[in-house]
Structure 1
Amino acid sequence: MMSIASTTGAASAPANNRRKWLADYSMPIAYAILCVVLAFTVENFLSLANIVGLMLSVAQIGMVACTMMMCLASRDFDLSVGSTIAFAGVLGAMILEATGSIFLAVGGGMLAGALIGAGNGVLIAYLRVNALIATLATMLMVRGLAFIVSKGQAVGIANETFISFGDTRWFGMPLPVLVTALCFIMFGVLLNHTIFGRNTLAIGGNPEAARLAGVNVERLRVWIFLIQGVVTALAGLILSSRITSGQPNAAQGFELDVISACVLGGVSLQGGKARIFGVLVGVLIMGTLENVMNLLDVDAFYQYLMRGLILLAAVLFDQLKTRGARH
């Protein structure tokens, strides 16, 4: 009997390993297949100009996805990132217009992002407000502030040095793309090779067990949201330099694209599971599909429909993986 049981266990081990491998690498494989198909079916998809344009178009999503990954891994999420991008861009443009100082403009925008993120963290961690309600309220308030301080108008940027940040190329790549690449490297190291990252995954997996192990759960959650706010504000400032103005209506629906990219990349909505490479693939999938729809001149209304379907598919995929892990 023991021999039969051990043989069965040995036989099931490779099958379990294969299932785990498919779960971990299904999206990268799917993306590789998608790229091959598009290369043969969509004209100019693999042209250098289109590839660079694709990476530039997902730069802001990629930056914020790095911090949203940490947020989701800790069993939280943030719906206010789109509004924070708009407010940071508007505030930075206004400070730049008033003072002419790039340092003050960038510092002011990122300080605003830090305060918004920390405020979300305090509401959720210490005041026990549900993350959906807290960040939804913040989303509305911050978007309102962006319209109020700008009087509902775009704030133009005339500073050539600030504008050049969005256009400058190093090693043939736009600077925003390089900043995004740096974010992926930094947050990959933070998640996988630091106590901060391990504790983030721990509180997402089981907050009470993490607390019993000595993790200050509330303080860590505030720090995660604060970092999210700072990086999101930086993304907003970079966006304002690219479009040469601070737009109070910028980045509407941005938060859904970021969450979709993270979930497609294998970040669990249940918390406790995240991989930076998966998030990168998720960001590229979102950007590639939008890029292809633009190349094919698909109407914007259908693009909204497709983004909704992608979000739904991402959530269903996460649910299926969670159920599979339980069984």
Structure 2
Amino acid sequence: MSDQTRAETVGAVPEPAPAGPPTSTDQTEPAWRRILSGSVGRNLGLVLALVVIVIIGAVTAGDSFTSINNVLVILRQASIIGVISIGMTFVIISGGIDLSVGSVMGLASVAATLDAMQEFTEATHWIFMVLVAIGVGVLAGLINGIVIAYGKVVAFMATLAMLVAARGLAEILAEKRTLRVDSRDFIEAFNADILGIDILIWIFIVAAVAGWLLLNRTTFGRRTVAIGGNREAARLAGINVNRHTVWIYVLAGLAAGIAAVMILGRTTAGTSTHGQLIELDAIAAVVVGGTLLIGGRGTITGTVFGVLIFATLTNVFVQNNLSSSVQNVAKGIIIVVAVLLQQRFARRGARE
């Protein structure tokens, strides 16, 4: 054997053996199963649940339930809690919680209807009341965000403290009275119809579309999901987690302020009792809509369906003259089932 042949033999790299038949782990999951296990499948489940509730209502309550007027009533009742839930969706996706939105809503309604505010409104424009209510909500959200992000206080405790403080401040400012809205222009504006649909419903629709775009089509939404999925990894990826957390709670406060304006238009009065326990309804709607309580996953579409499910269910009970106690039991069962399904999807996702 020549030296050249020997060198070629030594330096040769053996060819890889031909690949055998694919194992079961290499086989891809069917497309339909991947779709149904994702957000489309979860939203489809919500649609089916809503359809079942509608069928039950149509069978038990008849034409009074299926009338256009009743549909608009359901949407109007869902509008205020819906706006709150849009803000809550971002908070929970980021891995946080906000128990203060109901109290902030009550405080904002009181602040906007104080005598001094209404006098200034009469001298200028009713939009001033709107700005005051929204400003109070944003300020409360800013305080929550700073305490949580930079004060390193657990979100549950920080927002619980805001819940108590905001409700107490509202009682002090209102002197435990109901403050009537004097501006006729404000009342007319927020009781108007556009294309036969209440202005409150339009506000909910605009909030839902804006929330969907913010979550799915902006860097803000992607960073929110990243922080909820893994806070430390998001920080290492260059995201200013503290600053972003502040903005998330400001967004929740903004939603509470808008909801305060809506309740003022609906009831024509500001009171410290506005928004009591609405934070629990919002959290329930968000969870039923498929947003993980541990953060990292959620959709605005699911939240909207969650709000509609609870609003429609409440209307079915009212139409059938059932007590609020039975309503609460049914809501509790729905929440438990939703959480159990969440846990199942989370475990499956971890295995995959």
The two structures have a TM-score, normalised by structure 1, of 0.94
Letter aligned with residue 37 of structure 2: K
Letter aligned with residue 272 of structure 2: P
Going from structure 1 to structure 2, the CA distance change for 1:69 and 1:2 (only over 3 Å counts) comes to farther
Unaligned runs of 5+ in 2: 1-18
Residue 82 of structure 2 is aligned to residue 62 of structure 1:
yes
Residue 267 of structure 2 is aligned to residue 250 of structure 1:
no
Shift of 1:35: 2.0
Unaligned runs of 5+ in 1: none
Letter aligned with residue 57 of structure 2: L
Whether the aligned pair in 1 keeps the contact of 2:76 and 2:201 (CA below 8 Å) is yes
Going from structure 1 to structure 2, the CA distance change for 1:19 and 1:52 (only over 3 Å counts) comes to closer
Residue 34 of structure 2 is aligned to residue 17 of structure 1:
yes
What is the CA–CA distance in structure 1 between the aligned matches of 2:55 and 2:330, rounded to whole Å? 21
The two structures have a TM-score, normalised by structure 2, of 0.87
What is the CA–CA distance in structure 1 between the aligned matches of 2:176 and 2:336, rounded to whole Å? 33
Residue 164 of structure 2 is aligned to residue 145 of structure 1:
no
Residue 262 of structure 2 is aligned to residue 238 of structure 1:
yes
Identical-pair percentage? 32
Moved more, 136-145 or 156-165: 156-165
What is the CA–CA distance in structure 2 between the aligned matches of 1:255 and 1:203, rounded to whole Å? 22
1:77 pairs with one of 84, 97, 103: 97
Going from structure 1 to structure 2, the CA distance change for 1:13 and 1:229 (only over 3 Å counts) comes to same
Residue 145 of structure 2 is aligned to residue 121 of structure 1:
yes
Shift of 1:29: 2.2
Q: What pairs with 1:1-327 in structure 2 (closer than 5 Å)?
A: 2-5=20-23, 9-10=26-27, 12-14=29-31, 16-17=33-34, 20-21=37-38, 22-43=41-62, 44-94=64-114, 95-99=116-120, 100=122, 101-327=125-351
Does the residue aligned with 1:268 lie in a helix, a strand or coil? Answer: coil
Shift of 1:130: 0.7
Shift of 1:80: 0.4
Going from structure 1 to structure 2, the CA distance change for 1:290 and 1:2 (only over 3 Å counts) comes to farther
Letter aligned with residue 170 of structure 1: I
Whether the aligned pair in 2 keeps the contact of 1:28 and 1:278 (CA below 8 Å) is no
Shift of 1:324: 2.5
Whether the aligned pair in 2 keeps the contact of 1:23 and 1:321 (CA below 8 Å) is no
Shift of 1:277: 1.1
Give the superposed CA RMSD.
Answer: 1.8
Whether the aligned pair in 1 keeps the contact of 2:108 and 2:134 (CA below 8 Å) is yes
Q: 1:260-290, CA deviations, whole angstroms, 9 ceiling, x for partnerless residues? A: 1111111111111111111111110011111
What is the CA–CA distance in structure 1 between the aligned matches of 2:302 and 2:251, rounded to whole Å? 20
What is the CA–CA distance in structure 2 between the aligned matches of 1:303 and 1:287, rounded to whole Å? 11
Letter aligned with residue 28 of structure 1: V
Shift of 1:298: 1.4
Whether the aligned pair in 2 keeps the contact of 1:68 and 1:259 (CA below 8 Å) is yes
Shift of 1:319: 2.1
What is the CA–CA distance in structure 2 between the aligned matches of 1:11 and 1:122, rounded to whole Å? 46
What is the CA–CA distance in structure 1 between the aligned matches of 2:316 and 2:141, rounded to whole Å? 34
Point out the structure with max Rg over C-alpha: 2
* Equivalences, count: 326
What is the CA–CA distance in structure 2 between the aligned matches of 1:132 and 1:67, rounded to whole Å? 16
